Amino acid sequence: PKTFKSSSDYVSDLFNIQIAPRPMKKDASTAMPEVSPQKSSTYFQVSEPKAKLMTRYSREMTLINGDWDELVQRLGKKLLVLSNEQTSIAEESNANDMLGNDVALKVAQKVRPSDASKFRSYVDDVGYITMLLLSLSGRLARTDNALHCIVDDSHPDKKILEAKRDRLLEQLDEAKQLKDDIDRRGAIISKILEKSLTIEEYADYDYFINMKAKLIVDSREIADKIKLGEEQLAALKDTLVQSEC
């Protein structure tokens, strides 16, 4: 069986995505139960050829099980869970940005202006390189998955896709090298801050900078899964309408 790629397959080892978020205070009147989507679910793990492939698989399985409506309902529920998680990630991102602002104030008060400038540049670069890596890896995943679907070596699109994949691999490698350079600068910044900040202040900085990258990764992953799920749901509904005609 063919294995379909997701963007995280190319960059998951580059980020500290295991860091646990700090507890967030929520209004009891608006708090919703936290439900994590099943990460092993086939519905939200592939990125190409997206709805068409999964709908064909779903059609075959549903014809066996004879329950289209149940499948549509299940997809709808999964999308609702993902939407709730997307909201939660947005709240965590806002809280982390506020923490970052507090850290930046402490840094400006306790280090030389030149070092404070380096700190700000580093924080900006962490966001930039994370989004760049995710963008390139997402395009690479789509290209690889499109290639996986071509079984005929003489297909006119194969060479075009292979050339595109090779260019993206080169660009991804360059982005990884850029991240290595940013990480080296980050190590220097960390040493400066460790000497200048209190233990608690440095812990806040360390948490903020790691969560900044993690939340960008999480946000992109959830957005991709929602897009895929919406395409699958629309395709299933179209098939349902056609089958009733």
pLDDT digits (tens, 9 = 90+) for 110-129: 999 999 999 999 999 999 99
Please report whether residue 40 resides in a domain.
Answer: no
CA–CA distance, 185 with 206 (Å, rounded to integer)? 14
Q: Which two tokens stand for residue 136?
A: 């390139």
CA 22 to centroid of chain Cα atoms: 19
pTM: predicted TM-score of the whole model, two decimal places:
0.76
- Enumerate residues 6+ apart whose C-beta is below 8 A from 168: 136, 139, 140, 143
Total structural domains in the chain? 1
**How far, in Å, CA of 232 to CA of 78, rounded?**
12
Residue 38 belongs to a domain: no
Distance CA 77, CA 81 (A): 6
Note down the domain range covering 189: 46-244
191 belongs to a structural domain? yes
In a domain, 39, yes or no: no
Max CA pair span of the chain: 73
Question: Rounded distance, CA 98 to CA 67, Å?
Answer: 48
Does 106 map to a domain?
Answer: yes
Q: Residue 15 in contact with residue 64, Cβ under 8 Å?
A: no
- Residue 156, preceding peptide bond in cis (omega within 30° of 0): no
C-alpha–C-alpha distance, residues 199 and 229, integer Å: 44
For 124-148, give the DSSP string: HHHHHHHHHHHHHHHHHHHHHHHHH
Q: CA-CA distances (angstroms) from residue 216 to 15, 58, 104, 134, 219?
A: 10, 31, 19, 9, 5
* pLDDT for residue 28: 37
Distance of CA 31 to the CA centre of its chain: 24
The reply to whether 29 falls in a domain is no
Please answer whether residues 197 and 205 qualify as being in contact, where contact means their C-beta atoms are separated by less than 8 angstroms: yes
Inside any domain, residue 226 = yes
Which pLDDT score is estimated for 96?
97
**Other C-beta atoms within 10 Å of 170: how many?**
11
Residue spans of the chain under pLDDT 50: 1, 25-54, 57, 60, 62-65
183 is a domain residue: yes
* 51, 59, 78, 106, 141 from 99: Cα distances, Å: 39, 48, 31, 11, 34
